[in-house]
Structure 1
């Protein structure tokens, strides 16, 4: 019989082919390939909302030609949608009762938080999604009652309806037996807390802060069935009776009873709560304490008693041998009497700001391991004691006192463990003390420090925040300093001279450079182009001589450029730079020597990028700049609905080109900047007509085109600027009648004076001609001082992002110095 011999390499090849085939089959089968009808539902759901106004949203990837659906999770085996992660997805409008969303019957996870369903009632149909385990509607514009159908979501473990406008009593959630996390805070719920809510079998976290709850739970006879570990009831309308039922929840580890305005004295020793680790009683009256227990709250690590009308150091605190965090801010302590002889070896964070304290508390022996100390906003005078630096302190705030010096040598701080130090708004003088190499964050603004900036500032391991503004420092900025800071450098309002450091942003991580109002000369260092994280550049009020810095266009995050009151010169337009500063939101080049004309398309390149960036930042609510805050309770105390949009730096849009030598016509393309709030083109040589396209600047609040050579009539389109609170068209060559019966008539006559042939209200000159004669012209007034014109009735501030940008109108402060006032709003 013939034997067949297969080559060894053929057998090996066959083996690998079979192995790879099996692997590919298994891999392909396990891929979460979405079912076609699920894609159709997703696309139909997307169409239910208007086209998103923000530039980036997860729904942008939802197209028929792709299998990549951002924010969507498909089941690996069935291909159905099981999760929708749509937080901050730029969804606006409403989810209708027949929405395609309710066709996702296998949905387990749904996050619709931080969208904009304005005045949107919670639809009954959500009860259809009975497989939901996670549902988040935080800050989404919900109003009205929670529908009874919510009780059908029996598999829910996480439920967040916080920061909406929901009303009435508690939703019917008692049969949600698997629920472990429930957040109904910052709504308008009223009435009584049902006792059944506190004894739900799986509930661990309950947040009911900032509602209208008045009555404590009734008939809570036993807590054996309660698993609650964290309960937050602050900022409601409870009386002191809330303490009794809460004390029965013996498994509590965190309890917030802040700002309840209780009418009964609070028994601060909750003897049954042996597991309590966090307690917030701030904003209540603790003028009388029960201190009958020698071992109160043995596991308590965090205690907040701020704003409690306390006049002396509560003695029971000395019995809290596990305490790590203590906040007694906003009380009336005057002196901190802790002479009991006991120590608190575990306390590492102590906050005593705004307590009227007149002398340094002697805490070195009582708090041997203290790391964070806040004594800001008190009445401390004299010198900072030397023993303070013997403690293992890493964060110290002594701001807003009347301190003048440090005990001991200037080297007293060198051997400390300081990472953050705030000495701002005191009366310190002389040279800045030598700081330890561990320092990361230094604020010494608003003092009388003198001398040159010490080279020791370059020694630390990269400062993240340096604020020495409003002092009397002299000499040049050390060359090493430009490469030694990773975040903010604020040196404004000193007497610094010389040039800016040649090498700056060596690591590319400076976010803010503020050196305004010094004596700096030379040019802007070209190494600024390395500052890829730079957002804020302020060199106002110096003697810098340079051309317009087109080369800064490469910085991807630059939002604020302030060049005013220097010696910049030349043109501000260039054919080589058609898209200047794609993120720019505030540009001040006033009071320089810029000249030439602005091309007709000058503002075209800015329009699209500005709108996209503004709306993107509006959605995200980025933080304007780091704050020197190590008071960790701030995040919970002020996490109300308005805090996300407290950052108007990201939304403010303004241009100040005043006080230069520009000529030619104002480009019609200015009308494309529909988000513009502040525009100043005054004191130039602009000619031609006022562009009618300015009527498209629907968010404009301040307009100054005075002291130019503008001619022709005032466009009727400008009457549409309903939010305009400041207007100055004076000293031009305008003619004809001021548009009557419009908002433009509500301004003072000073807004229009100096235009010989202009007539109509509010001017005294009538436009009616009789027998070929016009009414007498009003007497020519002397040229006013800069910034004289104000609307007598400040315009009502706008809607949407405009309201978030300011939250206030253009007032008298704008009249005094408009641009400076806007800059002050930014914190610089």
Structure 2
């Protein structure tokens, strides 16, 4: 007989508690009816078409909404994540979901007020406008509407998402942008929206706006970008005018792409340039001048791509001291000297 205070009894008791804690619990239907109804109504606006996600870059296209059935827990639906306590939908990932159809401007979808992450990338919304209602998600930290065939102006209300840390609105796949020809409808970003993004998104760390028409934007609008910013991509945005050099000095910037803005002018900082830049790409621009010795202060720089621009003069020897440098493309500029051979020798 095992006594209540014996070591054997205590060991059995421990095993009992562990088995209770680790045993699978019966499924709990957390999703509230209004959340489920909002999602299901959203689903009905679209058909499933494999070609709608043919450009998907990150995974194979998958029609996630086919798992959405009435009478089932929406928290278990593919692409949906809920808060474990409230049952509110907090994440919706419908990237590469083969959705095809016009995106409704006013739908119960926008009543999912607890959303923290929303990814609708790589679908085909058939030239739909981005609804101003996207600004109605006060808890949103991640928003990705890229490569889904939205068109027209980006609404100013996007800047109401004050705790956003990730914004991806890129309009066309990079393969289409290489030729600098818009294959179809493009998004436009106006002064009001840009000023709102710069002023209100103080926590944002990543911004990707490739292919969006920003021809009406003065590059000086970017002077006060968030110091939290680590990644900024403005590939093929039709930017024109002089870019302020402080954009290169953002204290946390690691990735900066300015490629394919042929009328964008400016020069790199000549002094006091110390930043954590890892990748700097500014090909097919009108940036000019000599590469300053201050490049040697970019100790984390792993990639520098400055093809087909207007840089000139000698290439600074300080580039040869960048121990993290993995790739360097400087052709089709107006450089002089023999430094490239010196760099190749020093790196090997």
For this structure pair, what is the TM-score category when the shorter chain's length is used for normalisation? 0.7 to 0.9
Residues 543-576 of structure 1, C-alpha deviations (whole Å, 9 max, x = no match) = xxxxxxxxxxxxxxxxxxxxxxxxxxxxxxxxxx
For 2:140, which of 127, 132, 156 is the aligned residue? Answer: 132
- Report if the CA contact (8 A) 2:162-2:203 is conserved: yes
Task: Name the structure 2 match of 1:208.
Answer: 234
1:173 alignment partner in structure 2: 197
In structure 2, the partner of 1:57 is 63
Runs of 4+ in 1 over 6 A off after TM superposition: none
CA contact (8 A) 2:121 2:144 kept: yes
Gap change, CA 1:218 and 1:345, over 3 Å in 2 = closer
- CA distances 1:243-269 after superposition (whole Å, capped 9, x unpaired): 14597653133211101145x5x3134
Provide the secondary structure at the position in 2 that maps to 1:39.
helix
What is the correspondence of 1:327-342 to structure 2 with a 5 Å cutoff? Answer: none
Determine which of 309, 315, 338 is the counterpart of 2:338.
315
Tell me how far apart the structure 2 counterparts of residues 42 and 76 of structure 1 sit (CA, whole Å): 18
Larger RCO (alpha carbons 8 Å, 6+ apart) = 2
Asked if the contact 2:270/2:292 (under 8 Å) is kept, the reply is: no
Contact 2:286 2:310 in 1 (8 A): yes
List aligned pairs for 1:630-649, cutoff 5 A. Answer: none
Find the counterpart in structure 1 of residue 346 from structure 2.
344
- Count the aligned residue pairs: 307
Matched, 1:243 2:241: no
Matched, 1:46 2:43: yes
CA RMSD, Structure 1 to Structure 2 (Å): 3.5
Residue aligned with 1:212, SS: coil
Task: Give SS of 1:344's match.
Answer: helix
Secondary structure, in 3 states, of the residue corresponding to 1:154?
A: coil
Instruction: Please give the secondary structure, in 1, of the residue aligned with 2:167.
Output: strand
Compared with structure 1, are the counterparts of its residues 177 and 303 closer, same or farther at alpha carbon in structure 2 (3 Å cutoff)? same
How big is the shift at 1:17?
A: 11
Q: Compared with structure 1, are the counterparts of its residues 169 and 99 closer, same or farther at alpha carbon in structure 2 (3 Å cutoff)? A: same
| 1:152 pairs with one of 157, 160, 169 | 160
Q: Give CA deviations for 1:355-374 in whole Å, capped at 9, x if unaligned.
A: xxxxxxxxxxxxxxxxxxxx
Moved more, 112-121 or 192-201: 192-201
Task: Tell me whether 1:260 sits opposite 2:280 in the alignment.
Answer: no
Alpha-carbon distance, 1:76 to partner: 1.5
Matches of 1:243 and 1:57 in 2, distance apart? 47
User: Which of 99, 102, 106 lines up with 1:91 in the alignment?
Assistant: 99
- Distance of 1:309 and 1:245 partners within structure 2: 19
1:71 aligns with 2:97: no
Q: Is the 8 A contact 1:199 1:227 kept in 2?
A: no
Q: 1:167 Cα shift?
A: 1.5
Alignment of 1:78-477 (within 5 A): 78-164=86-172, 165-169=186-190, 171=194, 172-174=196-198, 175-190=200-215, 191-194=217-220, 196=222, 199-218=225-244, 220=246, 223=249, 226-239=251-264, 241-244=265-268, 250-251=274-275, 252-261=277-286, 264=288, 266-272=289-295, 274-275=297-298, 276-285=301-310, 288-291=312-315, 293-296=316-319, 298-299=321-322, 300-308=325-333, 314-320=337-343, 343-346=345-348
Shift of 1:124: 0.6
Q: 1:28 to 1:185 in 2, by over 3 A?
A: same
Q: How does 1:602-641 map to 2 (within 5 A)?
A: none
SS at match of 1:243: coil
**Paired residue for 2:53?**
none
Rounded Cα–Cα distance in structure 2 between residues aligned with 1:212 and 1:238: 7
Task: Call closer, same or farther: CA 1:163–1:221 in 2, change over 3 Å.
Answer: closer
- Matched position secondary structure for 2:214: strand
Provide closer, same or farther for how the CA distance between residues 297 and 213 of structure 1 changes in structure 2, counting only shifts above 3 A: farther
Rounded to whole Å, the distance in 2 between the matches of 1:95 and 1:221 is 35
State the shift of 1:46 in Å. Answer: 1.0
Hey, what does 1:35 align to over in structure 2? 32
Cα deviation, residue 80, structure 1? 1.2
Instruction: Report the CA distance between 1:63 and its aligned residue.
Output: 0.3
Tell whether the 8 Å contact from 1:162 to 1:185 is kept in structure 2 after alignment: yes
1:476-515 to 2 correspondence within 5 Å? Answer: none
Deviation track 1:380-415 (CA, whole Å, cap 9, x = no partner) reads xxxxxxxxxxxxxxxxxxxxxxxxxxxxxxxxxxxx
The gaps in structure 2 that reach 5 residues or longer are: 51-60, 173-185
Contact 1:296 1:319 in 2 (8 A): no
CA distance in structure 1 between the aligned counterparts of 2:24 and 2:156, rounded to whole angstroms? 45
Q: TM-score scaled to structure 2, two decimals?
A: 0.76
Q: 1:318 to 1:45 in 2, by over 3 A?
A: same
TM-score when scaled to structure 1?
0.34
The change in CA–CA distance for 1:232 and 1:221 in structure 2 (over 3 A counts) is closer
1:696-715 matches, within 5 Å, as none
Unaligned runs of 5+ in 1: 324-342, 347-828
> CA–CA distance in 1 between the matches of 2:326 and 2:140?
36
Once residues 318 and 161 of structure 2 are traced to their aligned partners in structure 1, the CA distance between those partners, rounded to angstroms, is: 44
Per-residue CA distance 1:584-633 (angstroms, 9 max, x = gap): xxxxxxxxxxxxxxxxxxxxxxxxxxxxxxxxxxxxxxxxxxxxxxxxxx
Matched residue SS, 2:99: coil
> What CA distance in whole angstroms lies between the structure 1 residues aligned with 2:17 and 2:160?
48
Larger Rg: 1
- Cα distance in 2, alignment partners of residues 282 and 219 from structure 1: 19
CA distance in 1, matches of 2:321, 2:224: 24
Hey, what's the Cα distance between the residues in 2 that align with 1:159 and 1:221? 18
Contact 1:226 1:249 in 2 (8 A): no
State the shift of 1:135 in Å: 0.7
